[in-house]
Structure formats: C-alpha cells, structure tokens
C-alpha cells in the first residue's frame, strides 16, 4: 500500500506550474487602471480618473485620439478652465488635490476631461464614411465603451489584479487544505468508521495547508505595509473620513487583525501537524497503544472542532468580508465555510479516484466513492442554500449598506455571479441526484471538476468586486495563477501521500471501513 | 395451496446476517428477514431489489414544486395583482421569484416527505390500523427472524432445511403452515 509520485504526475504538475507561471508573468504586465466615462450627449463624454498617475495623462490622451481618429473622429479635451466651470469645482482646490500625496482621498478626481467629439475634417467628408461602423452607435457611446471596458486605460501601478488574485487563490487553496483538516477531525470526533481507508488522503490534502498560509501571509503583509489596498480599513486616511469604518475600529485594526491571523494559522498548523504525526506513530504501535492514540485523536478532533467553529467564521470575516468594510452579513462565515468544505470534498474525491485508478487503494470500494459522492451532492445543496439565504434576505430587506454588496456584483459581475450560482447548484442537483451517477467515475470527474472551477469563481466573486470594482478582467493573469497554484497544490498532496502507508494499519475501525457497503 | 414456512429466530444482527449468507451459499432461498432495525448489507445477501422509493420521492417533489408555483403565482400575482410587500410590488412573477423560493422549497419538501412516508407505509402494508404481518412480536424488540418457505426451495426437503438452519446459531425455530 505504498505510493510514490510517478514521473508522469511530477511532469504534469510541474508543467502546470511552469506554464501557469509563464502566463502569470505575461498577464502581470496587462493590469489596467480604468477611467470612468459618462456620456453627456452624442458628441460629448465626461471622463474622470481617480488614480495617482498624473504624469501619464498626455499618453492616454494620445491613445484615445488615435483610437477615435481611426474611426474618423477628432477629439477636443475641453480646456481646464472651462471644465472647472462646468462642474463647479474650485480650480485651486482641484489643482492642489491632483498634486498632493492624497490623490486617492476620494474628494475629487485626479483629472477630468470634458471631451467634444467632432468629425475629422482633414480629408473632407469621405473619411467618416469610409469607416462604416463609426455610424452604428453615437461616437460618444463608442468612446465611452472604450474607456469602460479598459481598451483605453492607464497601466496599473498598484498591481491590484495581481494582489487580488493572490488573495483569491491563496484563500481557495488554503480553504481546500483546511476543509480536509476539518473533515478529518470531524471523522475522528464522530468516531466514524466508514472513511478510515480515506484518512491518509485527507492527511495528504491538509498537509498542503502551508501553501495557502504563506500566500495569505504575503497578501496580509503587503496590505499592512500599504503595498496593496485590499483592506480599506488598513488605510488610516480612509478610516478617518469614514464613520462606518470608524465604528468598527475596535475589531478591524492592524494589531488585533495580526493577533487573530497568527492565532488561526498557529492553531490550524498545530493540529494539522499533530494529527499527521500521531497517526504515523500509530502505524507502528501495538494494539493497546494504538487504541490509546485513537482515543487521543478522538478528543483532539473534538477540540479542533471547537476552535474551527469560531475561527472559520471570524476568519472569513477578517480575510474576505472586511474587504467590503461597510458591508456585513451574519451568514457569511457559514457561506464561505460551506464552499471550503465542498471544495475539499471534491479534492478528496479526485485524489481517491486517481489513486484507485493507479491501483493503490485496494480497500476502497464503490461504497466509499458513493459516500464521498453523497457529500459532494449534499454540500452543494448546503452551499446553494446558504448562498440563497444570504442573497434573499438582503434583497428583501433592501437596506442600502447591505444591498450594495449585491448591487456591485449584479452591475459589474452579472454573468459570472449568476452563472457560478446556477452551475454550482443545478449541475450537482441534476447529475448527482441518482445513486448510479454518484458511483460513476465519468460523472463524478466531470461534475466534480466543473463545480471545482465554479467554487473558484465563487471566491472570485467574493473578493474582486471589493478590490477591483468594475475594473476586473479575466485573462492570462487569472488563468496562469490558478494553474500555478493547482499544480503546486497537487504536487504537494501527491508528494505527501508517498511519505507513509496509504492505510492506517492500526486504526481500530479499519476492519469496519474495509467492509463498508452502501 | 398450502405451504410450510420455517421461522428461525436469532438474537444478534451479525449472526442473522451470517446465517443468511450461509443459507444462501447452500442454495436456500430466504424469503424475508424481520428485524427491529435495518441491518446494513443484508439486502444484497438475500436478494432484495433496490428500492424505487427515491424515484417516487422525486416525483412527489416535482409535483409539490409545480403546485407551489401555480399557487404562489395565482395568489400573489394573478389574484392580488400588485400587492406591495416591503416595497416590492408583485407585478411580475419572475422578478419577484426570490421571495417565493422559500415557499417553493418548503412545499417541495413537504410533498416529497409526506408522499414518501405514505408510499412506504402503503407498500409495506403498515398503515396505522393494519394487521401486523411479522411472525413474532419480539421482532419489534430485540429478536431477528429469518423466513424460509418450502415451496421456494423445492430442491430441499423440510428436514434438510431444518438441519441447515439449526447449524446457524439460532435461538428458536418455528414451523407454520400457511394457506
């Protein structure tokens, strides 16, 4: 019952990391900072920019001019004085803002343009006519579209997409490892017998916990040092001007945040290591000692569940919910926990099927696979139930500071947000309802992989609207980083599987598990 | 047509299961097992077909869902058109569907659960007031009874069956003639 990571698996996972890293590096240089257009009339667009890269204004102007010239239009970026009159700003104040340190202080845009669009006169009328599609929409709409979907934009000097993706992937893969640890301790605490032959797989998955913890720690350190602005409450300027955040300072402040994070990571890492060590020690013990070890793990399992019950909630508040600092939901902890648990269950299923396929798990029969399939089915419902409960209550009560969460998501992330929910809810419901499909490998692999990706998008929708607003994108950076993390994670799991026997020979319930039937 | 039935009684579920296994291995057909609780893994041994109760439950659930959709649409949109609850007037069913999802869900579960329970009782002929069909009242307490019918085991004589059963760790054995 030994397993060694095969050369092929090594090549595939390292290849995944390598290709992912390559895509990630390419994607890294395509991060954008948007400018926000308002269409005033068919030939007038108002554009504002809130970032701090004033020096690039001329470059972007040129870019916009070239893009519109290709369509047969000429742009007049209203002159400064006129613009200020139009919007009633004090010119001096505006000027001061743009050049001060607090360019992002949320009072006025760094710069704003009042663009008048004219037909290009150089070659006479036929220039405009020769470019047919310029006439389909009003030129101002065309220009506004270029700004709002990022065709004309600044490059992002804060690398927000990179940091946000780091948080998404860090949390997702941290969650999978944590979910496996949770399920393992649940298995011990409830003295379950059926899954004993799967415990080593859970151990291997949870041993990849440091990957997520290190990445999350990097994000938190970056946030604390001001390298990224993922957590608005870490910015003392923002807090000083924001009553709602000011009211939460007792909980959301840097020292207490770090105390909590160190508590979570310390407790999780301690239990992860302890369970692995004890179960390996148990392998070489005699019956009496092994039984004593089992009862010790039974008590520690229950103890971990107590910590996990509190930490899983507060952890999701700290890491994810505090991104949208104004917003709060009492269901959020459960909602993100159900996603974590489900992703972990899918990972357990996939690793089990892989090892079974390789012929390494002689004691795993179709009843074990059926049971993990039942978990995937049931947890999909738990997740959908909690997702909908959160959505429906907030939608119904319609309180501004609550409903803003869904307004952002529906305005800017509509497709991903609803498609993700439908896929994660309907697909398992239809295809995993029958007992036969829950035992069928092709079904389990297909549905499992689709909802695995679906739950990655769930985390994407938790994080991105709070960090990138409408400036999100899905491209090489996202795909590359996901591939890198997936490759690393699977590599760590498979390597860890090779470090011990795949069966816990001295587990008191091993016989029960071997004879498990549906 | 009369038939001889042997009731073999056991006092442990594992012994019962092993007894069934050894009888089946000898070529005996076991008609049924009476037990105070479900014995895991006995169904495939005595050759009981997989239940279709799940399919029935699915049908009841779909029925409940449809009924609830028709009802909520009639009550809240057609009949009381535009009643304004919480600033969300019910002009359109689709736009208000989140507020109906809880009742759709609950009614689906209600129909599935009740339909399933009633079907189960009906199919097993155990509706309240129906005569008990277990051979011995102790099978609802702490005893397990295996039923073997002579007519279904024409390869064996009554004595052969009795001998085989007596080797399986029984606590009591009973023989009845049924019509």
d(CA A26, CA A468): 19
Q: Is position A514 within any domain?
A: no
Closest CA to A118 of A133, A126, A128: A128
Q: Is A398 on the interface with B (CB under 8 A)?
A: yes
d(CA A96, CA A110): 10
A201 close to A497: Cβ distance less than 8 angstroms: yes
Q: Residue A205: enclosing H or E segment and its boundaries?
A: helix A199-206
Sheet of A73-77, strand order: A36-41, A44-49, A111-119, A73-77
**Across the interface, which of B40, B87, B102 has its CB nearest the CB of A517?**
B40
A467 close to A164: Cβ distance less than 8 angstroms: yes
A373 close to A349: Cβ distance less than 8 angstroms: yes
Of the options 3.40.50, 3.30.70, 1.20.1630, 2.40.160, the CATH number for the domain spanning B3-49+134-178: 3.30.70
Q: Look at A398 and B87 and tell me if their CB atoms are within 8 Å.
A: yes
Domain of residue A234, residue span = 7-29+159-508
Task: Say yes or no: A444 and A386 in one domain.
Answer: yes
Indicate the number of domains in chain A. 2
Task: Say yes or no: A148 and A163 in one domain.
Answer: no
Task: Say yes or no: A74 and A170 in one domain.
Answer: no
Q: Residue A131: enclosing H or E segment and its boundaries?
A: none
**Across the interface, which of A388, A435, A515 has its CB nearest the CB of B101?**
A388
Alpha-carbon distances, residue A351 vs A192, A315, A357, A489, B44 (angstroms): 20, 27, 10, 12, 29
Q: Residue A119: enclosing H or E segment and its boundaries?
A: strand A111-119
Contacts of residue B42, defined as CB under 8 A and 6 or more positions apart, other chains included, come to B16, B17, B20, B33, B35, B48
- pLDDT score at A94: 43
pLDDT in tens, B19-37: 999 999 999 999 999 999 9
Of residues B179 and A212, more confidence is placed in: A212
Cα distance from A392 to chain B (closest Cα, Å)? 6
Q: Is B70 exposed, middle or buried (0-12, 13-18, 19+ CB in 10 A)?
A: exposed
pLDDT in tens, B92-149: 888 889 999 999 999 999 999 999 999 999 998 889 898 888 888 999 999 999 999 9
- β-bridge partners, A41: A44
* For range B170-177, the mean pLDDT: 90
Cα distance from A517 to chain B (closest Cα, Å)? 6
Which of A155, A186, A216 is the C-terminal boundary of a domain? A155
Task: Say yes or no: A163 and A178 in one domain.
Answer: yes
Q: Is position A2 within any domain?
A: no
Going by pLDDT thresholds of 50, 70 and 90, the confidence category of residue A123 is low
Task: Say yes or no: A123 and A25 in one domain.
Answer: no
A175 close to A212: Cβ distance less than 8 angstroms: yes
Task: Say yes or no: A64 and A208 in one domain.
Answer: no
Task: Say yes or no: A290 and A390 in one domain.
Answer: yes
What values do phi and psi take at A45, rounded to 5?
-130, 135
Residue A287, helix vs strand vs coil: helix
Q: Is position A209 within any domain?
A: yes
The domain segmentation of chain B, as residue ranges, is 3-49+134-178, 53-123
Which of A138, A155, A172 is the C-terminal boundary of a domain? A155
What values do phi and psi take at B167, rounded to 5?
-80, -5
Those of residues 415-454 in A touching chain B at CB distance below 8 A are: 433, 435
Task: Say yes or no: A193 and A88 in one domain.
Answer: no
pLDDT in tens, A89-122: 444 444 444 444 444 445 678 888 888 888 876 5
What values do phi and psi take at A372, rounded to 5?
-65, -35
**Across the interface, which of A396, A433, A517 has its CB nearest the CB of B86?**
A396
Task: Say yes or no: A40 and A24 in one domain.
Answer: no
Work out the number of other CB atoms within 10 angstroms of the CB of residue A169: 27
Q: Is position A179 within any domain?
A: yes
Closest CA to B108 of B51, B70, B58, B71: B58
Task: Say yes or no: A352 and A289 in one domain.
Answer: yes
Which of A106, A134, A155 is the C-terminal boundary of a domain? A155
* For range A142-171, the mean pLDDT: 88
A324 close to A466: Cβ distance less than 8 angstroms: yes
- pLDDT score at A73: 84
Task: Say yes or no: A184 and A56 in one domain.
Answer: no
- pLDDT score at A462: 95
Task: Say yes or no: A254 and A357 in one domain.
Answer: yes
ipTM of the complex model:
0.81
Work out the number of other CB atoms within 10 angstroms of the CB of residue A292: 12
């Amino acid at each position: 019952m030994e397993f060694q990571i095969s050369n092929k698996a090594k090549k595939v996972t390292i290849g995944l990391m390598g290709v992912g890293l390559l895509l990630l590096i390419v994607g890294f240089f395509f991060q954008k900072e948007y400018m926000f257009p308002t269409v005033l009339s068919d030939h007038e667009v108002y554009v504002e920019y809130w970032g701090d890269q004033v020096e690039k204004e001329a470059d972007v102007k040129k870019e916009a001019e070239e893009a519109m010239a290709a369509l047969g239009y000429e742009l007049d970026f209203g002159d400064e004085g006129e613009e200020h009159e139009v919007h009633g700003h004090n010119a001096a104040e505006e000027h001061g803002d743009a050049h001060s340190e607090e360019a992002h202080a949320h009072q006025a845009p760094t710069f704003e343009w009042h663009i008048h669009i004219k037909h290009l006169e150089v070659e006479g009328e036929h220039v405009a006519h020769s470019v047919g599609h310029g006439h389909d929409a009003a030129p101002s709409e065309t220009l506004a579209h270029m700004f709002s979907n990022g065709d004309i934009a600044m490059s992002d000097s804060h690398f927000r997409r990179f940091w946000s993706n780091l948080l998404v992937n860090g949390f997702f893969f941290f969650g999978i490892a944590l979910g496996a640890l949770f399920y393992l301790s649940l298995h011990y605490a409830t003295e379950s017998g059926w899954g004993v032959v799967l415990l080593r797989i859970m151990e291997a998955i949870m041993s990849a916990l440091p990957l997520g913890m290190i990445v999350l720690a990097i994000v938190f350190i970056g946030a604390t040092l001001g390298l990224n602005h993922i957590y608005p409450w870490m910015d003392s300027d923002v807090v000083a001007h924001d009553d709602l955040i000011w009211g939460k300072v007792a909980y959301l402040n840097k020292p207490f945040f770090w105390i909590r994070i160190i508590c979570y990571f310390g407790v999780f890492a301690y239990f992860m290591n302890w369970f692995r060590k004890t179960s390996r020690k148990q392998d070489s013990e005699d019956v009496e000692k092994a039984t004593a070890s089992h009862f010790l793990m039974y008590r520690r399992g229950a103890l971990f569940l107590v910590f996990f019950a509190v930490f899983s909630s507060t952890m999701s508040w700290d890491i994810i919910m505090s991104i949208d600092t104004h917003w709060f939901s009492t269901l959020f902890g459960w909602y993100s926990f159900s996603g974590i648990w489900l992703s972990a269950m899918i990972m357990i299923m996939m690793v089990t099927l892989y090892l079974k396929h390789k012929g390494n798990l002689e004691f795993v029969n179709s009843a074990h696979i059926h049971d993990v399939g039942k978990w995937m089915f049931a947890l999909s419902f738990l997740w959908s139930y909690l997702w909908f409960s959160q959505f429906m209550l907030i939608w119904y009560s319609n309180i501004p500071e609550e409903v803003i969460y869904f307004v952002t998501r529906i305005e800017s992330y509509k497709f991903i947000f609803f498609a993700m929910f439908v896929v994660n809810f309907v697909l398992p419901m239809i295809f995993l309802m029958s007992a036969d499909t829950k035992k069928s490998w092709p079904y389990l692999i297909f549905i499992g992989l689709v909802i695995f990706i679906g739950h990655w998008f769930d985390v994407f929708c938790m994080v991105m609207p709070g960090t990138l607003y409408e400036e999100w994108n899905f491209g090489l950076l996202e795909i590359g980083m996901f591939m890198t993390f997936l490759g690393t994670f699977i590599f760590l799991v498979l390597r860890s599987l090779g470090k011990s026997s795949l069966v816990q020979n001295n587990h008191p319930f091993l016989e029960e598990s071997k004879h498990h039937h549906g | 047509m009369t038939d001889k039935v042997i009731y073999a009684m056991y006092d442990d579920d594992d012994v019962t299961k092993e007894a069934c296994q050894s009888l089946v291995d000898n070529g005996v057909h076991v008609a049924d097992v009476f037990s105070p609780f479900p014995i895991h893994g006995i169904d495939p041994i005595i050759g009981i077909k997989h239940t279709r109760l799940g399919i029935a439950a699915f049908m009841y659930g779909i029925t409940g869902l449809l009924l609830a959709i028709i009802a909520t649409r009639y009550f809240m949109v057609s009949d009381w058109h535009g009643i304004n609850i919480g600033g969300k007037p019910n002009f359109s069913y689709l736009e208000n569907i989140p507020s109906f999802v809880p009742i759709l869900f609950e009614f689906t579960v209600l129909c599935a659960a009740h339909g399933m329970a009633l079907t189960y009782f009906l199919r097993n002929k155990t509706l309240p007031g129906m005569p008990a069909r277990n051979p011995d009242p102790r099978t609802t307490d702490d005893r397990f009874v295996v039923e073997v019918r002579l007519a279904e085991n024409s390869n064996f004589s009554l004595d052969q069956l009795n001998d085989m059963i007596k080797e399986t760790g029984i606590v009591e054995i009973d023989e009845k003639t049924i019509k």
